[in-house]
Structure 1
Amino acid sequence: MRTKAAVAVMVALLALYLVFAIRYGLVLIGVGEPVAVSLGIALFILPLIAGWALVAEVLFAVRAERLGVLLDAEGGLPNGELPLRPSGRIDPAAAAAVFPAYQAATEAAPDDWRTWFRLGLAYDAAGDRRRARWATRQAIALSRAG
């Protein structure tokens, strides 16, 4: 619930930023000086890029959460057998020890989104966020295609 509230706050702040950026962009363009016009145009482009990035991240999170809920309903989520650190995160050494099983399952069934999603969870537990996101994106793409 906290995460959803944080996302809502970020979206509201981005919307407020867009209103002010567009307003000041119009003011700068209205000045007519080449430098001011360039800055005004930048005030239109940069918020659009930020908005696109935020929308892409929110869509990724929503789609990944849907897959997690679906996999949990099927009973396919890995159970919490791994030891935790005092911080509550999974011990990376223990995650690395069970990682080959998830990797082998994905290699055995490369067209199954479930194996990719579990592989993403294994990458995340091992602390490799970049590969976790990559594997989760693969799972999302496979679930949408099939």
Structure 2
Amino acid sequence: MKARNVALLMTAALVVYLFLLADRAFALFASGTGVGIALGIGVLLLPILGVWIVVVTWRNGLQIQRLSRRLDSEGELPDVSDLPRRPSGRVDRDAADAWFDQRRAEVQADQQNWRAWYKLAYAYDIAGDRRRARETMKKALELEAADH
């Protein structure tokens, strides 16, 4: 199953859960008691927050996918298929570090190149540093948006 289909399935399950949670909030409102209404407000905040997180996550995913397609059409999409792998399938740590150093040098050489930032984000990802990968991808998205 493609990752996109899994994401759609998980999002659908989350939407059902958020709907049921909102329904519980309205049931608490209907109790008419001060405590029930206060709890209802608290419970209703959860689906509102959940919807916001889902929207932001999907928006970011679609923007990253757009950059990926653009790089692919330009023949510049990062390819790590030739890097050695561990039995788990992850890229070997030394190989990931060497590939990362090359991508970091590309960014240092051209700080305004969104393509270099995208590749650096990918390098962080294969090195297992997801937090920095997200931050770096945000920078790539900002630079690409400013490039238009």
Please report the TM-score for the alignment, with normalisation by the length of structure 2.
0.90
How many pairs were matched up? 146
Q: Kindly provide the CA deviation profile for residues 91-141 of structure 1, in whole angstroms up to 9, marking residues without a partner as x.
A: 122110222221111011111110000001111111111111111111111
Q: Kindly provide the CA deviation profile for residues 26-77 of structure 1, in whole angstroms up to 9, marking residues without a partner as x.
A: 2211212122111111121111111111221111111112111211221112
Unaligned runs of 5+ in 1: none
Q: Do the aligned residues in 2 keep the contact of 1:93 with 1:126 (CA within 8 Å)?
A: no
Q: 2:11 maps to what in 1?
A: 11
Q: 1:65 maps to what in 2?
A: 65
**Structure 1 residues 39-58: aligned runs within 5 Å:** 39-58=39-58
**C-alpha distance in 2, partners of 1:144/1:92?**
33
| Displaced runs of 4 or more, over 6 A | none
**C-alpha distance in 2, partners of 1:130/1:73?**
27
Q: Kindly provide the CA deviation profile for residues 1-21 of structure 1, in whole angstroms up to 9, marking residues without a partner as x.
A: 521122212222222223222
Amino acid at match of 1:29: F
**C-alpha distance in 2, partners of 1:98/1:19?**
45
